[in-house]
Structure 1
Amino acid sequence: GSVWRAPDLHIGYVPQKLAVDYTMPLSVARFLSLGSGTAKKFTDVVHTVGIEKLLNRQIHHVSGGEMQRILLARALLKQPSLMVLDEPAQGVDFQGQSELYHLIGEIKNAWNCAVLMVSHDLHFVMSATDRVICLNHHVCCSGQPESVALHPEYQRLFGSSKHNFAIYNHHHDHHHDLHGNVIGPKP
């Protein structure tokens, strides 16, 4: 087959992990500046992901959640129309996961970019996504979370009990900050 890609498609990629040699002195700011654009874009992205206080820290001295935010910032510097996230909450504690998933949703809306995410976190996938593609050596089922949860192949893999996974979407006309406070209407 062939792959078709829109000529104006810009992709931002967030890997599961990033291995940086401990002998390489590399600050967060320097890491982000490699291949980045304007100073204003840099400042906007750093503010968006909330890593202002990390810029002077050595990259191998940040926590898992901080690293994921840094990688998210790096991807945003490309001004993507599509963000590809590979297990973005891997290595992040529960509170950090919640904040990170919320941030990803805010970025999706504020930056008007699509998000393609690989995740094993079925609670998140089934509660906070528009479309699910369930893989088990092949595409088992796909569609809206509610229909995927009822698909026989999905139920064979994960069970049919409604208590296994929370399927909840909260659609509203406003945004929240990282602390859950309402910060304004959707654009």
Structure 2
Amino acid sequence: MSELITAQGLSVRHGEVEVLHGVDFTISSGEIVTVVGPNGSGKSTLIRALIGLERAARGKVNRQAGLRIGYVPQKLHVDASLPLTVRRFLSLPKRVSNARAEAALERTGVPHLGGRQISRLSGGQFQRVLLARALLSEPQILILDEPTQGLDQPGTAGFYKLIEEVRQETGCAVLMVSHDLHVVMSTSDRVICLNGHVCCQGTPKVVAEAPEYRALFGMGTQGAFALYQHSHDHGEHADHATCSHDHDHADDAAKDGTQTHGQAHV
């Protein structure tokens, strides 16, 4: 598998506060990687740094040349008074054909929404439209920053099942940030537990049993596979997690609510 994005010794500062320090990260083609961590742990800051929206104070980030990224942001505010249909939204900022727009909506399970006003969508419908828009770029990697925030459990489970199906069909990598630990962990190839630094990482089962993970989330070892899971041959990475016992906190809560990216603006 080719490496799409790597970070080595990545540290990011917001003013005097070091939000991330010493983060090593890699995601390769075809992987589903989930980043979990408490509020203020630097999850969204890591995403922004990996796609070039945050400057590293130390360390470096490398992205594969010409890498196509599909991005589903944590929050996207659309003025309710703005007359904007789903079909028009899919053509911002670059026009797409009706056939491609219809295919994208069909793929994400909302083929009937093309003529609907964006402001009239439910939370779950809006997230599927955002995903359809991201897929139009034929991404090599999908990056989703807490995409199921505000959805109920069936909506969350359905959305992540859709993500796994998209990965299987297209071969794209998926990088997710989430608080939905029960669902996301069970469908991930690798989980990274973040708290200003990488506390532990490995396969879902290994991380669920790691004391670092349980200390952060107060969960037992049986809680990570509640809805569904899949099996893969993880090779040498399946037998252990890489853990760090330094639990310094870095507060980026003020920053986590802001998202900036070419695909996220209307």
Could you say which TM-score interval applies, normalised by the shorter chain?
A: 0.7 to 0.9
- Any gaps of 5 or more consecutive residues in structure 1? 173-187
Q: Deviations over 1:11-49 (max 9, x none)?
A: 000012210112210001100112144443323212101
TM-score of the two chains, using structure 1 as the length reference? 0.84
Structure 2 contact 157–183 (Cα < 8 Å) conserved: no
Written as runs of structure 1 = structure 2, the 5 A alignment for 1:1-187 is: 1-34=59-92, 35-159=94-218, 161-166=220-225, 169-171=229-231
1:22 to 1:104, Cα distance in 2 relative to 1, 3 A: same
Per-residue Cα deviation, 1:108-159 (whole angstroms, up to 9, x for no partner)? 1111100000001110132111000001222110111111122221122234
Shift of 1:89: 0.8
C-alpha RMSD over aligned residues: 1.9
Following TM superposition, the consecutive aligned residue runs of length 4 or more in structure 1 with deviations greater than 6 angstroms are none
Do 1:65 and 1:92's aligned partners in 2 also have CA atoms closer than 8 Å? yes
Number of the residue aligned with 2:14: none
**Greater strand share, 1 or 2?**
2
Asked whether the equivalents of residues 87 and 101 of structure 2 are also in contact (C-alpha less than 8 Å), the reply is no
Q: Percent identity?
A: 52
Change (3 A) 1:44 1:4: same
Q: Amino acid of the residue matched to residue 9 of structure 1?
A: L
| Structure 2 counterpart of 1:32, one-letter code | L
The alpha carbon displacement at 1:165 in A equals 3.3
Query: Contact conserved, 1:36 with 1:42, CA < 8 A, in 2?
Result: no
- The SS at the match of 2:127 is helix
TM-score by length of 2: 0.60
SS at match of 2:144: strand
Q: 1:112 to 1:38 in 2, by over 3 A?
A: farther
Structure 1 CA distance for aligned equivalents of residues 185 and 111 of structure 2: 32
d(CA) in 2 for partners of 1:161, 1:94: 20
Q: Which runs of 5+ in 2 are unaligned?
A: 1-58, 233-266
**Higher share in helix:** 1
Secondary structure of 2:66's match?
A: coil
For residue 160 of structure 1, report the CA deviation from its aligned partner.
5.9
